[in-house]
């Protein structure tokens, strides 16, 4: 899946063949999560929910609509989004006296309310998040789960603190939460501080997680923003300090979207189809009874027995369709089911069970009595294996060069692409550098102990 056309064909194909997502909705940039894809999405976002809940965040839910005067309150912010906002102008036939925005992100909705909630320092910190749909009228071409106009799974966390230091620590916590999240999914990443000219509108600075897709292009999969007091001054989120003075809250926000699902598909998949990390697989183990004439019951009963042994601990499914086993194997391999159990009369006689692991495509036999142990070990091993493979591919896409050799950079980015790292150098670190290298400056990054400028072709 080297070059981008081949990859993008593979990607569109797999969304359809694995029945994840249907792009045929009559609005550009909008699509439908089909049942299998919806389950992957649900298990994936359960992980981030648990990580956020365990680190003192509360899940909330805000209105979709934001009145124009609110959205436009913070100058930088509205400048950054004015070309992307969808507007509601009528209620039925009645023109609205105030235009309403479909939230592109919810800073202005949430911070309006924080002003009402925050009076004294003991009302802080506030650490809330929501997982909602947001809307951005993307003018670059849209791509399923990657560049949407309706971003259906937008996890946005928003925090407010009584000191600058606490907000800085929150940035660190957010970065560590995202590291745990992507490590749990086996998605590799490079963390960089976005350049001044590419930070989030209204932020002091932005830290971003970028991964690399099989076509070599970098994909921003998470962002963490230190908002300083920019929004709290505009929205007057003022609190009484312990010494009785007044101060503006110090804020952060951090977001991920459906791109995480796109990354799981793109980074772990192979020519055959999906390879799902067990933790997000709708079916973790599929049981395929090998039915021979006259021995149907023997095999089906054994399949049911094994199902009963596993069903409390795993998401397991018996495929008892009346079709050839080879067809079944193919279907589940496309859907990325991590582990397959094949049951035939000979196995039953020898008290053996045949297992097939999707990541290495290898088949092996175990004693029936060993089944639970072997499954546990194999599923863990699959996760470790696909994570190592993903990081290996990622590292292979990173090229460190020791100076700003623009010809060499352009050459690499036109062939293999990936991320180029050049030693950090204040003089050259400006917007003109993007023109020189004809690529995006991801930002400043630490890599193997040194400081670099990261450069890449991006989505």
Ligand X SMILES: Nc1ncnc2c1ncn2[C@@H]1O[C@H](COS(=O)(=O)NC(=O)[C@@H](N)CS)[C@@H](O)[C@H]1O
Site membership for ligand X, residue 281 (CB under 6 A):
no
User: Smallest distance, Å, CB 143 to ligand X?
Assistant: 8
Positions 190 through 229 that interact with ligand X (CB under 6 A): 200, 220-223, 225
The single-letter DSSP state of residue 337 is -
By the 10 Å C-beta count (0-12 exposed, 13-18 middle, 19+ buried), 244 is classed as exposed
User: Smallest distance, Å, CB 80 to ligand X?
Assistant: 9
Distance CA 453, CA 115 (A): 38
Apex 34 CA angle, 45 and 266, nearest 5: 60
Site membership for ligand X, residue 259 (CB under 6 A):
yes
Site membership for ligand X, residue 258 (CB under 6 A):
yes
Instruction: Confirm if 241 and 162 have CB atoms less than 8 A apart.
Output: yes
- Judged by CB, which is closer to ligand X: 255, or 278? 255
Site membership for ligand X, residue 103 (CB under 6 A):
no
Any residues with CB less than 8 A from the CB of 457 and at least 6 apart, and which? Answer: 216, 217, 218, 413, 417, 439, 440
Site membership for ligand X, residue 21 (CB under 6 A):
no
Instruction: Confirm if 109 and 81 have CB atoms less than 8 A apart.
Output: no
Buried/exposed code over 125-147 (b: 16+ C-beta within 10 A; e: otherwise): bbbbbbbbbbbbebeeebbbbbb
Distance CA 361, CA 390 (A): 17
- Judged by CB, which is closer to ligand X: 124, or 218? 218
User: Smallest distance, Å, CB 98 to ligand X?
Assistant: 23
Segment near ligand X (CB under 6 A), from 119-127, 233-241, 252-260, 419-427?
A: 252-260
Distance CA 284, CA 276 (A): 9
Instruction: Confirm if 386 and 268 have CB atoms less than 8 A apart.
Output: yes
- Judged by CB, which is closer to ligand X: 147, or 357? 147
Positions 136 through 175 that interact with ligand X (CB under 6 A): 136, 138, 147-148, 151, 156
Q: Cβ–Cβ contacts within 10 Å for residue 354, how many?
A: 17
User: Smallest distance, Å, CB 131 to ligand X?
Assistant: 11
Q: How many residues bind ligand X (CB under 6 A)?
A: 21
Segment near ligand X (CB under 6 A), from 256-264, 400-408, 409-417, 422-430?
A: 256-264
The single-letter DSSP state of residue 298 is H
Q: Which residue in the block uniquely carries the two structure tokens 């670190």?
A: 429
Apex 188 CA angle, 15 and 48, nearest 5: 75
- Judged by CB, which is closer to ligand X: 162, or 257? 257
Cα dihedral across residues 161, 162, 163, 166: positive or negative: negative
User: Smallest distance, Å, CB 117 to ligand X?
Assistant: 19
User: Smallest distance, Å, CB 234 to ligand X?
Assistant: 15
- Judged by CB, which is closer to ligand X: 253, or 285? 253
**Beta strands of 194-267 (E only): which ranges?**
205-212, 218-228, 238-240, 246-248, 250-256
- Judged by CB, which is closer to ligand X: 207, or 375? 207
Segment near ligand X (CB under 6 A), from 248-256, 263-271, 364-372, 380-388?
A: 248-256
Q: Which helix (H) or strand (E) holds 65?
A: strand 65-67
- Judged by CB, which is closer to ligand X: 182, or 356? 182
Report the residue closest to ligand X, judged by CB. Answer: 255
Contacting ligand X (CB under 6 A), which of 44, 105, 378, 440? Answer: 105
- Judged by CB, which is closer to ligand X: 209, or 356? 209
- Judged by CB, which is closer to ligand X: 211, or 378? 211
User: Smallest distance, Å, CB 83 to ligand X?
Assistant: 13
CA distances from residue 86 to 10, 68, 106 in whole angstroms, order as listed: 31, 11, 14
User: Smallest distance, Å, CB 128 to ligand X?
Assistant: 11
User: Smallest distance, Å, CB 123 to ligand X?
Assistant: 22
Q: Cβ–Cβ contacts within 10 Å for residue 98, how many?
A: 10
Contacting ligand X (CB under 6 A), which of 214, 255, 282, 344? Answer: 255
Q: Which residues bind to ligand X, rule: CB under 6 A?
A: 105, 107, 136, 138, 147-148, 151, 156, 200, 220-223, 225, 253-259
């Amino acid at each position: 899946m080297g070059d981008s056309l081949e990859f993008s064909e593979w990607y569109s194909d797999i969304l359809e063949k694995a029945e994840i997502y249907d792009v045929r909705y009559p609005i550009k940039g909008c699509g439908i999560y089909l049942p299998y894809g919806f389950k992957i999405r649900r298990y994936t976002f359960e992980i981030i929910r648990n990580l956020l809940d365990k680190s003192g965040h509360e899940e909330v839910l805000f209105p979709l609509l934001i009145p124009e005067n609110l959205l436009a309150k913070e100058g930088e912010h509205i400048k950054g989004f004015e070309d992307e906002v969808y507007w509601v102008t009528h209620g039925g036939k009645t023109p609205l006296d105030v235009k309403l925005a479909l939230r592109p992100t919810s800073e202005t909705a949430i911070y309006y309310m924080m002003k009402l909630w925050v009076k004294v320092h003991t009302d802080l910190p506030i650490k809330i998040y929501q997982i909602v749909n947001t809307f951005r009228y993307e003018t670059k071409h849209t791509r399923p789960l990657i560049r949407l106009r309706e971003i259906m799974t937008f996890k946005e966390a928003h925090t407010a603190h009584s000191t600058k230091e606490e907000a800085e620590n929150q940035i660190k916590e957010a970065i560590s939460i995202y590291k745990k999240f992507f490590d749990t999914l086996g998605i590799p990443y490079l963390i960089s501080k976005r350049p001044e000219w590419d930070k989030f509108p209204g932020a002091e600075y932005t830290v971003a997680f970028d991964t690399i897709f099989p076509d070599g292009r970098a994909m921003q999969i998470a962002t963490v923003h230190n908002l300083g007091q920019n929004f709290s001054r505009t929205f007057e989120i003022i609190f009484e300090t312990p010494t009785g003075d007044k101060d503006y809250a110090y804020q952060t926000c951090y977001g991920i979207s459906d791109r995480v699902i796109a990354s799981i598909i793109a980074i772990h998949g192979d020519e055959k189809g999906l390879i799902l990390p067990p933790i997000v697989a709708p079916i973790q183990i599929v049981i395929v009874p090998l039915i021979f004439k006259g021995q149907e019951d023997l095999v089906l009963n054994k399949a049911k027995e094994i199902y009963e042994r596993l069903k409390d601990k795993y998401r397991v499914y018996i495929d008892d369709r009346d079709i050839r086993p080879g067809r079944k194997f193919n279907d589940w391999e496309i859907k990325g089911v991590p582990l397959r159990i094949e049951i035939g009369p000979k196995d039953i006689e020898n008290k053996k069970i045949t297992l097939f692991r999707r990541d290495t495509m290898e088949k092996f036999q175990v004693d029936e009595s060993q089944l639970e142990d072997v499954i546990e070990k194999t599923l863990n091993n699959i996760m470790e294996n696909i994570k190592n493979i993903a990081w290996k591919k990622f590292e292979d896409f990173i090229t460190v060069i020791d100076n700003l050799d623009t010809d060499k950079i352009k050459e690499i980015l036109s062939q293999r692409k990936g991320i180029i790292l050049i030693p950090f150098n204040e003089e050259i670190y400006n917007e003109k550098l993007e023109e020189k290298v004809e690529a995006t400056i991801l930002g400043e990054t630490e890599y193997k102990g040194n400081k670099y400028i990261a450069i890449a072709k991006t989505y």
